[in-house]
Structure 1
Amino acid sequence: MARKSRPQVTIARETLDRLERLADGMLARSPDLAGRLLDELTRARIVPAAKIGADVAGIGSTITYRDEATGRDQTITLVWPEDADIAAGRASVMTPIGVALLGLAAGARFTWETRMGETRELTVLSVSPPEADAPAA
């Protein structure tokens, strides 16, 4: 299947090693998802966290995005796997939506494949940086 051009991905250098280890650890259990994350990391612009704009999704960011097919907006906070709690709106970076949103800036539009194999077009509406007073993970 031909892919549209994908939006720029920017990853904090400080999180790169952990993301690579998570992807490597998932290769046996979920090779497609691990491969997607590794692909995103390979094409990402890697910069120090202090140089990443506040509107770029990273661990701890709160992201609002729209499913263009349904017009439905959803807000999640992107977290490490051990902090995930979908009922509380905390999505693991090691889920399809977590991999898809990681490193994207507000305004990015991208194609995303759900766990059920459906293809959706999503638009990042806003990204809020992690709360300064949030507990350290």
Structure 2
Amino acid sequence: MKYVPLPPVSIPESDQPRLDEVVRQASADRHPVAAFLACELSRASVLSARDFPTDAVTLDRWVAFRSDRGWRPERRLLVCPQDYRLPELHLSVLSPLGAALLGLRVGSEIAYQSIEGVRHVACVESLGGPSRSPVATSLHSI
């Protein structure tokens, strides 16, 4: 796999307390993704709502992404672990992929490791909710 440099990460200051609590609880529970999420947050620029880019991945926002250069993007709502309900709709920020995508801008790609230690690359394709395509409609009706 090719070398993928670390892209810049930005988070809105309104998300910081929730993300800090996720890391605190995950670290206490010895969650395998806690250190990675903490590392991503430590290198993130924390921006006011006014200065936050509209094309960056945040909590409670839909993100379309490709993992390992898949042929079709997947679309999920990035959520805190306590809000995770359906794998077809949600992506936990405490998953390796969710932690990797947090704060990236559309067009950015990042390398990350699965819990099993396998290296992957994800790319942010777009932001926003599901369209009315047949796939999105079937996900939306769940």
Q: TM-score range by the shorter chain?
A: 0.7 to 0.9
Residue matched to 1:53 = 53
Conserved 8 A contact 2:32-2:115: no
Residue matched to 2:25 = 25
Matches within 5 A, 1:120-131: 120-128=120-128
Question: Unaligned stretches of 5+ in structure 1?
Answer: 130-137
Shift of 1:74: 0.9
Residue matched to 1:35 = 35
Conserved 8 A contact 2:107-2:123: yes
Residue matched to 2:133 = none
Q: Deviations over 1:83-117 (max 9, x none)?
A: 21234411121221111111011000111212332
Compared CA separation, residues 7 and 65, structure 1 to 2 (3 A): same
**Alpha-carbon distance in 2 for matches of 1:54, 1:22:** 24
* Residue identity matched to 1:124: V
Q: Deviations over 1:1-24 (max 9, x none)?
A: xx7421110011111122112101
Compared CA separation, residues 113 and 72, structure 1 to 2 (3 A): farther
Q: Does 1:76 align with 2:48?
A: no
**Alpha-carbon distance in 2 for matches of 1:89, 1:74:** 10
Q: Deviations over 1:118-137 (max 9, x none)?
A: 211111111228xxxxxxxx
> What TM-score results when the alignment is normalised by the length of structure 1?
0.82
Question: Unaligned stretches of 5+ in structure 2?
Answer: 130-142
Conserved 8 A contact 1:77-1:90: yes
> SS of the residue aligned with 1:71?
coil
C-alpha RMSD over aligned residues = 1.9
Compared CA separation, residues 122 and 88, structure 1 to 2 (3 A): closer
**Alpha-carbon distance in 1 for matches of 2:17, 2:126:** 26
- Between the two proteins, the alignment pairs up a number of residues equal to 127
The percent of aligned pairs where both chains have the same amino acid is: 26
Residue matched to 1:93 = 93
**Alpha-carbon distance in 2 for matches of 1:119, 1:16:** 27
Which consecutive aligned stretches of 4+ in structure 1 deviate over 3 angstroms post-superposition? none
Q: Deviations over 1:67-96 (max 9, x none)?
A: 234434211111122221234411121221
Compared CA separation, residues 34 and 24, structure 1 to 2 (3 A): same
